[in-house]
Structure 1
Amino acid sequence: MTKRWHSLQNDRPFRPITLLPVTIAFSSGILMGFAPAPLNFFPLAWVALAPLWVLLFTPSKAKAQGEKNESKRPFFLFSFSFGISFVWGVGYHGLALSWITGLHPLTWLGVPWLASVAIVLFCWGFITVWGAVLVALWAWLMHRLESVGVKGKGEDDAALLSVHASTPWHHLEPLLRSLRRVLLGTALWCGLEWLWSLGPLDWTALAYTQSPGNLAVLHFGQISGATGVTAAIVAVNGLLAEAWMNGQQLAVSRQRSAVSSQQLKTQNSKLKTIALLVSATILFIAVHLLGAVLWLQPIAPSNTTALKVGIIQGNVPTRIKLGSDGIRRAMEGYTNGYLALAAQGVDAVLTPEGALPFLWNEPNKLRSPLYQAVLEKGAVLWLGTFTAQKGGIARSLLTITPNGATTSRYDKIKLVPLGEYIPFQAALGGIINLLSPITENGQPGAFHQQFDTPFGRAIASICYDSAFPEVFRTQAAAGGQFILTASNLDPYSEVLMAQHQAQDIMRAIETDRWAVRATNTGYSSIVDPHGHIEWRSQPRTYQTHAATIFRRETQTLYVRWGDWLTPSLLVLGAITVLFQRRSLRS
């Protein structure tokens, strides 16, 4: 088996990527795709990256020469590391994001059936490739950075020991090399996830594979946000992979002559394998124990901070909501729901994104029976609707008080490309209009918004915002006491419903806040600061629900300092690369 494994490595990258490495990479990516909701096989995330790591970093003489040639190539797309990692990313992101196929059929927009299939497949392929490029770029950067010195003087531990034989710690050098690689790999992955979070498409950060199943490790996110969870996953996978690779080298060395020097190298290699396995175990246990300690902290609710809120899940499908029947159904459903909840004595009622599918202006407001109900019953209304803004229309969440005044507005920050706005409108608008039925050009809200209510400042979010932790952190740092999420997840399946809820669970834990979630078709829910789902609606049904939440003013380390871990890891990674380069030159 060992000989066969090493034979896989020998001809890279002089031959095309062979079938077995591709199969291993794709299969392990699929395993990672099983980890997120709704399957919730979250333990797989702690091992599913390791096979890719082994494929990338198992040493061989041919590979060392190939990587030297790779570094001279003008375009990295032809490298083994980029290609095999891209395949892993396609497996992971393609499966995790397969809910996008729920867009089909688009015939209700006047799109022919075959054209609808083509549009949906394009969308699925594009977001899959977008995620896979992150993984591929990570692998390529790893090889580029290691080529400055970490692998430049030898491809296995024996060669490395000969280089560092004059140093007092030379027997530790193979172990230190593996630890440096794990540190560098973790830093680069976290850095790239941070970079991706600045863009328009971000959903499948590794941390979300642990939600909602692994609440203990999710509380580790209170220290440095989702990055802390991602870093732990990458590091544990890397340590396990390094232990596996060292074990393979150990098996090969045992087949050689049993001279004393070779026996010493074998013994050192065995100790290295044990040290790497112990390191992976300690790290895995440590992050879970620390998270569990935070998880077990009492919430300690107080009557003075209690807030009774109502949720309306209107269940008006997107395919009909813009027509006259849909508008009538929405108006009746949300008005009746508001009246029922007000009769239960709620302080406020939350509706989903775009609950009333028309522009909320003065004439429409005065004609709305829901607005009249607010004036009559006196419960605050948080209304998801549309407002006119300079250059287009914003998807907004409004606070409407008992006197009919709109006292605060939150505009959706993260809009879905092509679904809610046309990217690069000036250059691509004409072309996209020919290919896509989307005519809306939504306007994103400012990043630093504050959503004040009669009960204190809230942390507001609309649908896709939930995938971006910084949207929540900045509002929590500015005094937000509870989370309000208004979403429309139709026409997608329960897969997206479960994943969106998983995102909000992470945000509730990271900020230590209660979360109230209203969606059009499900899942609406109440989530406590420890990520427990106090109540969850049934999908694709009309429902109302009243619950008591509690306002909180605590600030986690993440809320105060933000994602401090990523820059720290990047600085440490840069130091190790520079130190190794200097060491090899001396």
Structure 2
Amino acid sequence: MTRHAWYSPGRLRTRIAAASGWRLALLLFTGGALSALAMAPVFAWPILIATLALLLWTVDGARRRPKPLRAAFLRGFLFGFGYFLAGMFWLAYAFINRGPEYIPLIPFAVPALAALLAAFWGGAMVAYALLAQRSEWRVLVFAVCIAVFEWLRGHMFGGLPWNLPAYAWPAGGAISQTASWFGVYGLTLLTILTLVSPAVAVGPVFNLKRTMPAMGGIAILLIMFTFGALRLQQPEPGLEPGVRFRIVQSALTQGEKWSANGALLARDRYLDLTASPGLDEVTHVLWPEGALPIYMLEDGATLSLIGEIFADDQVLMAGISRRVVGQEDETYYNSLAVLRYHSGTPRIVGLYDKVLLAPFGESIPFSGLLSAIGFAEFARLQYTPGAGPFVMDLPGAPPVMPLICYEGIFPGFVRAGAPRPAWLFNLSNDAWFGETSGPRQHVNQARYRSIETGLPMIRSASRGVSGVIDAFGRMPVAILPGSDGAHDVDLPRPIGAPLYAFWGDWLFWIISGLVIAGIILQRRKVVGRYLKIPTLNR
């Protein structure tokens, strides 16, 4: 074989489709890992054109194996395992920051989570192998299968819709505006379809018919870009009058906060930053999730010190840990407390308990097994979920929907609150994840909630990206990780609710359902052969 023949696109596709053994496993794992570069903060989305082609070609090859469905699952799983392990490696920092006794869990917990998420990509490739026709339009089935299984990943077992393919587009940009119609799952479908479509144009000789999906993909990208660019030309909705927020951002690390004198250090730092000049012009002070490593509502001295610097009717919105002591046990909550001060005395005017708890951080999967192998203390430290999302009435500000930490990555959760709020408040403690890509991925995903709902967001994230997000997902004020200070910002107004705010994922499901139904009707004999479904003789 000549060197030229190896690098010809058609021969390369044939060789990849026929690959097997450890070389194939390494190729798929590496392709998945490289795909993580499409996410924040790199946003190297063109790499998905190559890596998705790799996945498509290898699964096409699996369909010619003696056990095609098993081969398809393994290939999708290996690709997904590389993708999630590379894209979520930063979870290891949470175990390191929690203490040396938790470090031995890293080789088990992080790969186990990546494997669980990768199983959905394996399932998607099984569905593709089962349903796809032989024509070049099989890319449509490929995109729908991945998007449907990504929806399942975002909902089953509590859901973890982290690093959906749609997030390859920076929030606030033109293409991201497509989520205002279809949501991130619909945008995931369109992203996969447009970026994988060139793969079927590759062949030994030029064939105009094979280029049709690629040309269709380019047309879809142009339509999305044009729609988004026009949407971003809408007039600015303006600012809410009489509302001025102070976002307090501390550069304290988790190690400093949880050191021997960490509680006093954190309290003094937040009090000093809160009392920075200009406080008298502020209506609401915002502290992030887990600002102080204490049960603040039980600490009279801390509440008194806050009262000394607050004027009458000023409001503190702070992320806190709280506990309810019963006769036999204690219940712990990750909460947002809204305190209104008058004559130095606080009154709780709002309280929200986090509903969606982070696995291994706030809820412990397989806690019984962990206790049995010697991690009983680790398994015991669990929060209790709150009753559900709701819209909170605030003194001196429009109604708000709180989102604590990764609640902001769930589109359906944001839509669950009723009536419609005027803004979203996302508070987080991204200090757990160090100087990694995790906090950047987090803020990009949270910004999509503003695009989907037409609501502005104020974000307060300890050692994460804080600031102001407008109703289009743009971030006119961005406070970078590691900064230390008080930042006074105004609240943008919402815009009219976009289509997704009314329909949710229904448009996505209508499109996916039509594609799947059409393919099943076309391929009923093939489906029947795999599933042993009798077909009518004509």
Q: For the superposition of Structure 1 and Structure 2, which TM-score range results when normalised by the shorter chain?
A: 0.7 to 0.9
Does 2:437 correspond to 1:446?
no
Does 2:123 correspond to 1:134?
no
Out of 265, 275, 284, the position equivalent to 2:212 is: 275
- CA-to-partner distance for each residue in 1:230-283, whole Å, 9 max, x for gaps? 111111134222222xx24x47xxxxxxxxxxxxxxxxxx23123222112111
Match of 2:434 in 1: 493
After superposition, where does 1:396-415 map in structure 2 within 5 Å?
A: 396-403=335-342, 404-415=346-357
Q: Distance between the aligned counterparts of 1:537 and 1:440, measured in 2?
A: 31
Out of 453, 456, 459, the position equivalent to 1:517 is: 459
After superposition, where does 1:35-434 map in structure 2 within 5 Å?
A: 35-57=38-60, 66=65, 69-70=66-67, 79-103=70-94, 105=96, 109=99, 111=101, 116=103, 118-146=104-132, 150=133, 177-179=135-137, 181-198=138-155, 199-212=158-171, 215-244=173-202, 247-248=203-204, 250=205, 270-302=207-239, 304=241, 307-323=243-259, 325-340=261-276, 343-361=279-297, 363-365=298-300, 367-373=302-308, 376-389=311-324, 392-403=331-342, 404-423=346-365, 425=367, 427-428=368-369, 430-431=371-372, 434=375
Q: Structure 1 residues 94 and 110 mapped into 2: Cα distance closer, same or farther (>3 Å)? A: closer
Q: Distance between the aligned counterparts of 1:445 and 1:296, measured in 2?
A: 39
Does 2:470 correspond to 1:484?
no
- CA-to-partner distance for each residue in 1:397-448, whole Å, 9 max, x for gaps? 12212342212222222212222122355x4463376266354210112333
Does 2:17 correspond to 1:26?
no
Query: Which region of structure 1 is more displaced relative to structure 2, 518-527 or 221-230?
Result: 518-527
1:382 deviation in Å? 0.5
1:64 deviation in Å? 5.5
1:461 deviation in Å? 0.9
Q: Structure 1 residues 222 and 378 mapped into 2: Cα distance closer, same or farther (>3 Å)? A: same
Query: Which region of structure 1 is more displaced relative to structure 2, 375-384 or 453-462?
Result: 375-384
Q: Secondary structure at the match of 2:401?
A: strand
Instruction: Tell me the amino acid that sits aligned with residue 208 of structure 1.
Output: Y
Match of 2:415 in 1: 473
Does 2:492 correspond to 1:550?
yes
Q: Structure 1 residues 284 and 356 mapped into 2: Cα distance closer, same or farther (>3 Å)? A: same
Instruction: Tell me the amino acid that sits aligned with residue 396 of structure 1.
Output: S
Instruction: Tell me the amino acid that sits aligned with residue 418 of structure 1.
Output: F
Q: Structure 1 residues 445 and 211 mapped into 2: Cα distance closer, same or farther (>3 Å)? A: farther
Instruction: Tell me the amino acid that sits aligned with residue 74 of structure 2.
Output: G
Q: Distance between the aligned counterparts of 1:324 and 1:370, measured in 2?
A: 21
Is residue 342–residue 377 contact of structure 1 (8 Å, CA) maintained in 2?
no
1:23 deviation in Å? 4.4
1:226 deviation in Å? 0.8
Out of 501, 518, 531, the position equivalent to 1:576 is: 518
Q: Distance between the aligned counterparts of 2:429 and 2:240, measured in 1?
A: 32
- CA-to-partner distance for each residue in 1:165-195, whole Å, 9 max, x for gaps? xxxxxxxxxxxx432x333222222221121
Does 2:378 correspond to 1:437?
yes
Match of 1:17 in 2: 21
Q: Distance between the aligned counterparts of 1:99 and 1:350, measured in 2?
A: 26
Q: Distance between the aligned counterparts of 1:509 and 1:346, measured in 2?
A: 27
What RMSD over aligned residues (CA atoms) do the two structures have, in Å?
A: 2.8
Q: Distance between the aligned counterparts of 1:7 and 1:498, measured in 2?
A: 37
Q: Structure 1 residues 418 and 228 mapped into 2: Cα distance closer, same or farther (>3 Å)? A: same
Q: Secondary structure at the match of 1:498?
A: helix
Q: Secondary structure at the match of 2:292?
A: coil
1:57 deviation in Å? 1.9
Instruction: Tell me the amino acid that sits aligned with residue 182 of structure 1.
Output: V
Instruction: Tell me the amino acid that sits aligned with residue 413 of structure 1.
Output: V
Q: Structure 1 residues 554 and 387 mapped into 2: Cα distance closer, same or farther (>3 Å)? A: farther
Q: Structure 1 residues 240 and 430 mapped into 2: Cα distance closer, same or farther (>3 Å)? A: same
Instruction: Tell me the amino acid that sits aligned with residue 321 of structure 2.
Output: F
Is residue 335–residue 373 contact of structure 1 (8 Å, CA) maintained in 2?
no
Q: Distance between the aligned counterparts of 2:335 and 2:183, measured in 1?
A: 26
Q: Structure 1 residues 451 and 295 mapped into 2: Cα distance closer, same or farther (>3 Å)? A: same
Query: Which region of structure 1 is more displaced relative to structure 2, 395-404 or 528-537?
Result: 528-537
Q: Distance between the aligned counterparts of 2:77 and 2:285, measured in 1?
A: 45
Q: Distance between the aligned counterparts of 1:436 and 1:122, measured in 2?
A: 17
Work out which of the two has the higher radius of gyration on C-alpha atoms and give 1 or 2.
1
Q: Distance between the aligned counterparts of 1:104 and 1:578, measured in 2?
A: 46
- CA-to-partner distance for each residue in 1:19-55, whole Å, 9 max, x for gaps? 1x44442343233211111222233335531221122
Instruction: Tell me the amino acid that sits aligned with residue 492 of structure 1.
Output: F
Q: Distance between the aligned counterparts of 2:63 and 2:459, measured in 1?
A: 53
Instruction: Tell me the amino acid that sits aligned with residue 401 of structure 1.
Output: R
Match of 1:535 in 2: 477
Is residue 41–residue 441 contact of structure 2 (8 Å, CA) maintained in 1?
yes
Q: Distance between the aligned counterparts of 1:424 and 1:545, measured in 2?
A: 42
Is residue 198–residue 211 contact of structure 2 (8 Å, CA) maintained in 1?
no
Is residue 311–residue 350 contact of structure 1 (8 Å, CA) maintained in 2?
yes
1:538 deviation in Å? 3.8
Q: Secondary structure at the match of 1:226?
A: helix
Q: Structure 1 residues 84 and 541 mapped into 2: Cα distance closer, same or farther (>3 Å)? A: same
Stretches of structure 1 that go unaligned for 5 or more consecutive residues are 152-176, 252-269
1:534 deviation in Å? 2.0
Is residue 25–residue 84 contact of structure 1 (8 Å, CA) maintained in 2?
yes
Instruction: Tell me the amino acid that sits aligned with residue 234 of structure 1.
Output: I
Q: Secondary structure at the match of 2:433?
A: coil
Q: Distance between the aligned counterparts of 1:405 and 1:374, measured in 2?
A: 15
Q: Structure 1 residues 462 and 276 mapped into 2: Cα distance closer, same or farther (>3 Å)? A: same
Stretches of structure 2 that go unaligned for 5 or more consecutive residues are 527-536
Aligned length: 509
Q: Secondary structure at the match of 1:38?
A: coil
Q: Distance between the aligned counterparts of 1:186 and 1:505, measured in 2?
A: 24
1:343 deviation in Å? 2.3
Q: Structure 1 residues 435 and 504 mapped into 2: Cα distance closer, same or farther (>3 Å)? A: same
Q: Distance between the aligned counterparts of 1:418 and 1:57, measured in 2?
A: 37
Is residue 109–residue 437 contact of structure 1 (8 Å, CA) maintained in 2?
no
Instruction: Tell me the amino acid that sits aligned with residue 80 of structure 1.
Output: A
Instruction: Tell me the amino acid that sits aligned with residue 220 of structure 1.
Output: T
Q: Distance between the aligned counterparts of 1:521 and 1:420, measured in 2?
A: 19
